[in-house]
Homo-oligomer: A and B are copies of this chain.
Amino acid sequence: MAQTDIVARLLAGDRRALARVVTLIENGAPETRAILAELHAHGGHAHIVGFTGSPGAGKSTLVMQLARELRKREQRIGILAVDPSSPFTGGAILGDRIRMQELAGDPNVFIRSMASRGSLGGLAASTRDVVRALDAAGFDTIIIETVGAGQAEVEIVRAAQSVVVVTVPGMGDDIQAIKAGILEIADIFVVNKADRPGADQTAAELRMLLHLDEHRKERVWRVPIVRTNAMTGDGVPELADKLAAHLATLRTSGMLASRSGQQARSEMLALLHQALIEKIEATIGADEWDRLVAEVVERNRDPYTTADELARRIGLVPPG
Contact = CB atoms under 8 A, between A and B. Distances in A.
Interface stretch (A18-26, A36-44, A203-211): A36-44
A303 interface: yes
A138 B317 CA distance: 34
A297 interface: yes
Interface of A: 33-34, 36-38, 40-44, 54-57, 85, 147, 149-151, 154-155, 168, 170-174, 176-177, 179-182, 257, 260-261, 264-265, 267-269, 271-273, 275-280, 292-294, 296-297, 299, 302-308, 310-311, 314-317
Contact of A172 (B147, B155, B172): B172
A72 to B, nearest CB: 30
Given A36-B302, A154-B151, A279 B316 contact: yes
B37 A268 contact: no
A234 to B, nearest CB: 21
A280 to B, nearest CB: 7
Contacts of A277: 269
A292 B147 CA distance: 33
B151 A297 contact: no
A303 B41 contact: no
Contact of A40 (B85, B155, B276, B303): B303
Nearest to A179: B55
A229 to B, nearest CB: 18
Copies of this protein in the assembly total 2
A267 B180 contact: no
Given A33-B304, A272-B310, A54 B293 contact: no
B297 A268 contact: no
Given A40-B302, A55-B176, A261 B297 contact: yes
A180 B33 contact: no
Given A151-B154, A176-B54, A279-B316, A303 B268 contact: yes
A302 B174 contact: no
A79 to B, nearest CB: 20
Given A33-B304, A271-B304, A54 B299 contact: no
A150 B181 contact: yes
A311 B275 contact: yes
Contact of A297 (B260, B269, B316): B260
16 contacts: A34-B304, A40-B304, A42-B299, A54-B173, A54-B180, A56-B173, A85-B180, A151-B151, A174-B177, A261-B294, A268-B306, A271-B308, A272-B280, A272-B310, A273-B276, A278-B316
Given A55-B176, A314-B316, 17 more contacts: A37-B305, A40-B296, A40-B303, A54-B173, A56-B173, A149-B177, A149-B180, A171-B173, A173-B174, A264-B296, A264-B303, A271-B304, A272-B316, A273-B273, A279-B317, A314-B315, A315-B315
B276 A149 contact: no
